[in-house]
A and B are shown apart, each in its own frame.
Chain A
Amino acid sequence: MGQKINPLGFRLGTTQRHHSFWFAQPKNYSVGLQEDEKIRNCIKNYVQKNKRISSGFEGIARIGIKKRIDLIQVIIHIGFPNLLIEGQTRGIEELQMNVQKEFHSVNRRLNIAITRVEKPYGQPNILAEYIALQLKNRVSFRKAMKKAIELAEQTDTKGIQVQIAGRIDGKEIARVEWIREGRVPLQTICAKIDHCSYTIRTIYGVLGIKIWIFVDEE
């Protein structure tokens, strides 16, 4: 039977850009990767910790990292940047200090910028978090999926497909449920498709959510 390749990886050379964008000789490549991991983990932990306080949910759509010889530029694409902006920009500086603590290197400056994503529900990561929240509140899964698709349609995407796999409704037999609206041409490389795969831990086990959003046809 055919298995589906991750549409992001499939399109990497053509319609998909990398989230980390820097150059390194083969000797230093793995060091650069480790730095990237540290930065991303630091940011995610910080947002996770302070999420309780703000009780909104802010979805991090993407963390882009660019490096130059003397500068590391981190751009966080976030959907609802309440915490990090309304906190009188204290949030960003705290973040910056936290991340800088991880690094013992004095050679590179660190610069963190926050960008607001214009249509937050057009990003699959944010949609997946939304569905996860709904499922945690014991909403019926079909309603959650339909609500998510509605939200995405409002931001005029050309197609969306949502798939939930696992012990749906806590039933003993796991199954896969999916809904599609519009068209999602996975085989067309010049079609920009955004994808997210998200796991939720419920009391019955792990549910996997996958979302494909067809953004544009170039």
Chain B
Amino acid sequence: MARKSLIHREKKRQRLEQKYHLIRRSSKKKISKVPSLSEKWEIHGKLQSPPRNSAPTRLHRRCFLTGRPRANYRDFGLSGHILREMFHACLLPGAIRSSW
């Protein structure tokens, strides 16, 4: 089980990212529309001003049950080992063993 502090760091990043999401999106749109270069520098400065943890690239998916940072599947939000355990406990709707 991952350290609680790491899981909470992720949560903090998620909160910040949600908070600044619209601002970032509007700045990005503007920067691609505006013709002159100096204005682009200005808008770029604005893009740099929100806190770093609000950037979506800094998010890292974790397993929602254990917080494991590796081996996560986007479809389930789970890491591989827990996925297998839950599968055998018949808790994943529609998942069956594949054989062909």
Contact = CB atoms under 8 A, between A and B. Distances in A.
Interface of A: 6, 8-10, 12-13, 16-24, 26, 29-30, 32-34, 36-37
A23 B93 contact: yes
Interface string B27-59: 000000000000000000000000000000000
Interface in B56-100: 64-65, 74-78, 86-97
Interface of B: 64-65, 74-78, 86-97
Contacts, number: 58
A36 B93 CA distance: 11
Contact of A13 (B75, B88, B91, B96): B96
Contacts of A32: 93
A23 B94 CA distance: 8
A16 B96 CA distance: 10
A18 B87 CA distance: 9
A74 to B, nearest CB: 13
A33 B78 contact: yes
Contacts of A23: 93-94
A44 to B, nearest CB: 13
15 contacts: A8-B88, A8-B89, A12-B87, A12-B95, A12-B97, A16-B90, A17-B90, A18-B92, A19-B89, A22-B93, A29-B75, A30-B78, A33-B76, A33-B78, A34-B77
Contacts of B65: 37
B93 A8 contact: no
A217 B92 CA distance: 25
Given A18-B95, A19-B91, A33-B91, 17 more contacts: A9-B88, A9-B97, A10-B97, A12-B87, A12-B90, A12-B95, A18-B90, A18-B92, A19-B89, A20-B90, A20-B93, A24-B93, A30-B64, A30-B77, A30-B78, A33-B78, A34-B64
A32 B91 CA distance: 11
Contacts of A22: 93
A30 B75 contact: yes
A28 to B, nearest CB: 10
B77 A8 contact: no
Contacts of A18: 90-95
A94 to B, nearest CB: 25
A9 B76 contact: no
Closest 6 CB pairs of A and B: A30-B77, A9-B88, A6-B88, A13-B96, A12-B96, A19-B90
